[in-house]
Every structure is written in C-alpha cells, then in structure tokens.
Structure 1
Amino acid sequence: MTPTRPTPPPKTPLPKVAGAPISWGVCEVPGWGHVLDPGTVLAEMAALGLTATELGPPDYLPSDPERLRAVLSGYGLGLVGGFLPVVLHDAAPRDETLAEADRVAGVLAAGGAEVLVLAASTGLDGYDERPALTDEQWRTLVSTAAAVRDVAARHGLTTALHPHVGTHVETGEETERFLADSDLPICLDTGHLLIGGGDPVAIARRWAGRIGHVHLKDVRASVAARVRAGELTYTEAVGQGIYTPLGDGDVDVASIVASLTEAGYRGWYVLEQDTALSGDGAEEAAQPRRDTARSLARLHELLGVRGIREGR
C-alpha cells in the first residue's frame, strides 16, 4: 500500500503592504511644500521592495487609465486605492460630490485599485479649521457617504471612511458615532485617530470587523497634544515632525497589528507618514526613503515577514 502523504497546511497569504506619495511630501493641500516628481517617488518605493501604492493627490499620477497603468507597471507597482476628500455634510453639492466620486472611482478601478478612501471634507482648504456640524448635517454626511459607497461599488471598489484630522470625522467619539450610524467600513489611520484624541488600539480591538483599510502611522504624543490644545495647527505640527517611523513614536502599533491579525484582517497596510519638504538639499530629499524603510522593517517584524530591503 502506498503511504498516504500528509496534506500540507494551507498557505497563509502574505500581508499586503503598500506605500503612499504623502510619505514623500506629495499632498493635495495648496502650499503644503516641495513636491518630488513621480518618477523619483515611485522609483524609491520600488527600491524598498514595495509592490503597490495609493494614487496620491489629483493629477499627480496620470488620470488616463492606460497611462496610469503604464507608469505604475514601469516601476513594478500596482494600485491600491486613492484618497477622496469631499463634502458629505451639505446636501447642496451632493450631485457634484457623487460626480467626483464617480470620476475618481473610474480612474481607480481602471488602474486596478480595490479601495476608495473617503474623507468628510469641511469644504475649506487644508486641515487646520473644522466647523461644528448640526445633527441634520451629520445625518446628511452619513447618507451621502452611503451614496458614495454605492457609486464606488458600481466600479467594483469598496469604500472606507477615513477619520482624518481637520475633517468632520476626526475624533474617537466621531469615529464611534460613524460606525454606529453607518454600515461602511473605516480606514483605520493610527496617527490621525491619536492626534484627534481617539484611541486607535481600542478602535482596532472593538471594531476589527469593520476595518476595511489601514493607514499605519506613528506619532509623537506630545506634539499631538499641542495640536488638540490649539497651540499648533496640523500643518505646523507636520513641519515639526509629529510623525515618526513606526516604533519611534507613541502609537502602540504592535497591539494594533496583533488585533487585526487575530481578527483575520486581509486588507492593505499602507505606510503613511505625512511629510512636508522644503526642497532644501539632498539630505532632506533622502529622508522619506529612509523613514519609510524603517517603518517597513518594523511592520515586517510585526507581521513575521522575512527578506525585507532596508532601503539604504
């Protein structure tokens, strides 16, 4: 009788790890800072061993699907998704909001993306002011977010609502309220939640099943406290280095990753460290790659992935 060979254990899918142009100082906010060219940013992502990126701000990468795929494939990169900050709380521009969501979702889907990362924009430039909402405006925000989700779904994309500093879903309390009032998943941004006074560890534990996307950041809590106290604007805090490579700040990234792993999270981990560059010299220009390399090494350590590139 031929001996029966043991059935090999099922392979665990490799964690999906991506980069984002904001880690290289590329941001949609007017006057944010020096913007590196896409070739530099994508080449450095690829050199670190990353295989995918988020889209970045409008028109940074080509909006024509064929050109977009060609540019990304030239660096061996795929497209994860893209950030869409639009007004959700005001019914007046709803048609314009949904039209923009349809346009962006079409670009993302044609580029091979999976996720539309939605943010509840105030309608003001930047992230330094945040007017309060009425209950009626909140209900409009929730219903418009659902409508955006439906638009994106027609393109084959999932939508995750991103709690974000300077938007109408920023704090831990607002994040919990959105999760209670909506059926959309969220993008767990570990840095923005802490800056907004929330507890990203608690959110990851309590709402692991509702987390559809992850932006991993680490933050200096002392600088975040000054933002909450009104001593610094968010933009000023970024300039003062509120974000650090994973493991250098005060976010318990290890507990967050452990909670998500235990819950069976299979989505993307996007390394994001909001950076603003002055364009002053080669040393500053080299910092995004160095910091992202350190974050990637720490994440791979937490995920048990071997064979990383240090990006030196």
Structure 2
Amino acid sequence: MKAKLGMSPIAWWNDDLPELSDDVSLEECLRQSRSAGFTGMEMGRRFPSDPQVMLPILKAADVTLCGGWFSGTLVDENIEANKDRIAPMIELFKAVDAPCIVYGEVGRSIQGDRSKPLATKPKLADDEMMAYARRVTAFGEWCAEQGMPLAYHHHMAAVVETETELDAFMRNSGEGIPLLLDAGHLAFAGGDVLRAIDNHHARITHVHVKDVRMEVIDGLDRTRQSFLDAVALGAFTVPGDGSLDFERIVQKFADYGYEGWFVVEAEQDPRKNPPLKMAEVGHKELMRVMTAAGYTVETQGFPNR
C-alpha cells in the first residue's frame, strides 16, 4: 500500500489568528516542510492564484499541492452562489494536479469568532441536516463533473462537529461527497476516531493527521472559551507530540486499504513550537507508524511532467 505525506501551511501562517504566524515566505515554508520529508503542501493564503506562477514555485521546492480549503456556505446559501465562488479554484487545482478541494462549512460556524464560546456552536435539526447533506452531495457531484472532487471536512464549531453529527451527515449524503477524516477535530469533539473510520472508511478520500493535547482540551471552559481560544492555548499539535495513538489510527486505515494523502495540519504558536522542528517530529512519528502498518511512503514531490 502506498501513502503520501503532506502538511498544511497553518503551522507557519494562521489566517484566523495572525499572532500565531511566522514571518516566512511561501518558498521558505515549502523548503522547511520538504526538508522534514513531506512531499505535499495544502494551499494557504500566501500561495499565488495563477497556476503559471504557482507551478515553478512548487517545482523548485519539489512539492505538490495536496489540497486546499474552500469556505462553503451551503447551509445557508444556494448551490449556484457556491459554484460561482469555487469555479476559479477548480481551474487552479486542475492546472496544478491537486487531488481534491477540501470543503469546509463556514455558514453559521463560530470557528473564526473568538467572542463565541464553544458551547454556542450551531446545531441542525434532523430535517435541516437531511436537506443540507443532500445539497452538499449535489455540489460535490457538480465539482467532480468539472474535474475536481471535494472532500468534506467535519470541523469544530461548525454544523458538523460531533461524531453523531458526522454520522447523520454521512447517512443523509451520498457518494458524490467524499469525506476528509480529521483525527484531531473528531477527538476534540469527543468522538471515537477508530469507530468513525470503521463506519465511514468507504468514503474517506483524504486524511488530516492532526494531534491534540487532551490536557488543554479537558481544561477548557466551553461556556466561556472559543475554538480560537483553544487553538491559542495549544489544543493542536503534530503526531508524536500529542495524545492520540496514531499507530492504531494509521493501522485502521491500512486495514481498510486506504491509499492517499495523510496531511499534518497543526496550528499552534510558531514561537513556542517552531514549524520546522514540529514538522520533523510529525514526519518521524508518521514514518514509524506508516512502516508498522505496511505502507510504502512515496518520496517524489513535484510530479514528473
């Protein structure tokens, strides 16, 4: 079985918490992650939107674009509005051979609002979840028809946060919307990561290997503190530095024959946790657990053309 290891630039630049950002260029971010052993990078705010500009940067770094976040609003807005906003991203991602676009629901979400405590996260009634899941499925089918599949990202402080909400979303949606399984977000929400893989492995096409510091999460006052407060306090980290057992998690993916990207997405204070050092810690741990699970990790970065 083959696997690819990528990173998210959120370890270097945090869009929601500028104070948790390192003053490094895109080129330096790519250089650091590649030197740690990662062959892919998800898109961040310092990436160019022109493929003719992006491709030489990726090639020089020997890195491939392995995904990127789209802020979806299908819980409130119609499909056509989201089609208009995602269309340029689809063309860009196709031009640079990215595997997928990550769909993150921001409608009604409090994930980016530091004034909103975790306990006030939005919740959907059963009929709302059913209608929402069907809209997202239709949108996912349309994106795939344009040549770029989506991967749905369940997320803290959003309408699909808990394991129960994820189960409901998956039950009411269809194969037209694959799943991104994020170990850290599910654990933060109190879910069972291994059970979620058991339940939804057939539709998982992208994986975020985000680790958590449970001592930080357990110490939160969810009636007062927000998702961004939790991030600033250090709720997230890389595999090998947190509380999750990635040997069991990766083995579970291997048991179901998952092949594809495992992406480290670990937003934290780069002054306390230097991104290069943390990338090295995460890569070392992932190589250990990948080898134990029988994976061959691909070492080629930028694809041969």
Q: Verify same fold: TM over 0.5.
A: yes
User: Who is 1:204 aligned against?
Assistant: 197
User: Who is 2:303 aligned against?
Assistant: none
Task: Give the structure, 1 or 2, with the largest relative contact order (CA under 8 Å, sep 6 or more).
Answer: 2
Shift of 1:250: 1.8
Q: Does 1:161 align with 2:148?
A: no
Counterpart CA distance in 1 for 2:297 and 2:254 is: 20
**Is the 1:88–1:142 contact (alpha carbons within 8 Å) kept by the matching residues of 2?**
no
Counterpart CA distance in 2 for 1:120 and 1:175 is: 13
**Is the 1:227–1:234 contact (alpha carbons within 8 Å) kept by the matching residues of 2?**
no
Q: Does 1:19 align with 2:7?
A: yes
Indicate which of 259, 262, 273 corresponds to 1:266.
Answer: 259
User: Who is 2:36 aligned against?
Assistant: 48
One-letter identity of the residue aligned with 1:291: M
User: Who is 1:105 aligned against?
Assistant: 90
Q: Does 1:29 align with 2:23?
A: no
Q: Does 1:151 align with 2:137?
A: no
Indicate which of 287, 290, 300 corresponds to 1:300.
Answer: 287
Q: Which runs of 5+ in 2 are unaligned?
A: 300-305
One-letter identity of the residue aligned with 1:105: I
Shift of 1:194: 0.9
Give secondary structure in 2 for the equivalent of 1:188: strand
Indicate which of 81, 96, 103 corresponds to 2:81.
Answer: 96
Indicate which of 94, 103, 113 corresponds to 1:118.
Answer: 103
Shift of 1:28: 3.1
One-letter identity of the residue aligned with 1:237: A
Give secondary structure in 1 for the equivalent of 2:159: coil
Counterparts in 2 of 1:214-225, with a 5 A limit?
A: 214-225=207-218
Counterpart CA distance in 2 for 1:303 and 1:190 is: 16
Shift of 1:135: 3.9
Give secondary structure in 2 for the equivalent of 1:273: coil
Counterpart CA distance in 2 for 1:165 and 1:238 is: 11
Give secondary structure in 1 for the equivalent of 2:140: helix
One-letter identity of the residue aligned with 1:40: E
RMSD: 2.5
**Is the 1:127–1:165 contact (alpha carbons within 8 Å) kept by the matching residues of 2?**
no
One-letter identity of the residue aligned with 1:43: R
User: How big is each residue's C-alpha offset from its partner over 1:121-161, in whole Å with a ceiling of 9 and x where there is no partner?
Assistant: 13567155433334443234213312331232133222111
Counterpart CA distance in 1 for 2:68 and 2:25 is: 18
Counterpart CA distance in 1 for 2:150 and 2:298 is: 30
Indicate which of 107, 129, 133 corresponds to 2:124.
Answer: 133
Shift of 1:170: 0.9
Give secondary structure in 2 for the equivalent of 1:54: strand
One-letter identity of the residue aligned with 1:297: K
Give secondary structure in 2 for the equivalent of 1:53: strand
Counterpart CA distance in 2 for 1:259 and 1:178 is: 22
One-letter identity of the residue aligned with 1:117: V
**Is the 2:39–2:62 contact (alpha carbons within 8 Å) kept by the matching residues of 1?**
yes
* Equivalent residue pairs, number: 287
Identity of counterpart residues, as a percentage?
A: 26
